[in-house]
Amino acid sequence: MIYVVLLTAAVVMLTVAGHHVWAGPKGEPVDVLRHVVKDIDGNDVNLANYRGKVVMIVNVASKCGFTGQYAALEALYKKYRDRGFLILGFPSNDFMGQEPGTEAEIKSFCSLTYGVSFPMFAKIPVTGKDKAPLYRDLTERATNPDHAGGVKWNFTKFLVGRDGKVVDRFAPTTKPDAEQVSAAVEKALDVAEKDAPDS
C-alpha cells in the first residue's frame, strides 16, 4: 500500500512540479500571517505573533508515505530556530484519509514518534471550497502570485519571509533536508538579518 501511495504522490507532484500554472487574476503578495487559527490544543493563535520570523508552513499527515519527513522537519527547525526560523504544522485529512485521528492522537504521535517540538495546529482542510483561509492565501494567485497553485498532497511546504509574504514553495517530494530547502531558508534568514535594526 505504501508503494502505491508513494507512486501516486510522485506522479501527481511531477505533473505540478516547478512553477504552478494557476488561473485567475494575478495580484500582489499578501501577508499570509494575518489569520487567527487554532493550535493543536484548541487555543486561538494569532499568526501575526510570528511576523518577524522566517516561517515554514506544512500540511502534515500521520499515515502518509511522507510522514517520515517529520524527523527532517524537526532537525531543520532545531538547526535554524535560534536565528528566527519556525515551522508550523497543519494536519489535514484531505488526501486519502491519511490524517484520521483526533488532535490529541496527532499530538501524541508526533511527540512520541518524532519528538516534534515545533508548533502544531488543529486539523484543517487545505483543498476544495472549504479550505482554510490561510490556505486560500497560500494557494490563490490573487494573494500569492509567484507560488500559487492548489496543494496536491501532504507535506507541501511554503516558506514565508519575515514580512509574512511567501518567498518559496517545495513539493512533498522535496525532503526538508534537501540542499535547496536549506539554501532557501538561509537566504530568507540572511535577508532578514541584514534588514533587521541594530539592537
Contact 48, 92 (CB under 8 A): no
Report the Cα 166 to chain-centroid distance in Å.
11
What count of other Cβ atoms lies within 10 Å of the Cβ of residue 190? 12
What does the alpha-carbon distance between residue 166 and residue 174 come to, in Å, rounded to a whole number?
17
Task: State phi, psi for 146 to the nearest 5 degrees.
Answer: -85, -15
Residue 135 · residue 142 · CB < 8 Å:
no
- To which H or E segment does residue 57 belong? strand 54-60
Report d(CA 12, CA 16) in Å as an integer. Answer: 7
Is 64 among the residues known to form the active site?
yes
Catalytic-role residue among 47, 64, 106, 166: 64
Return the active site residues.
64
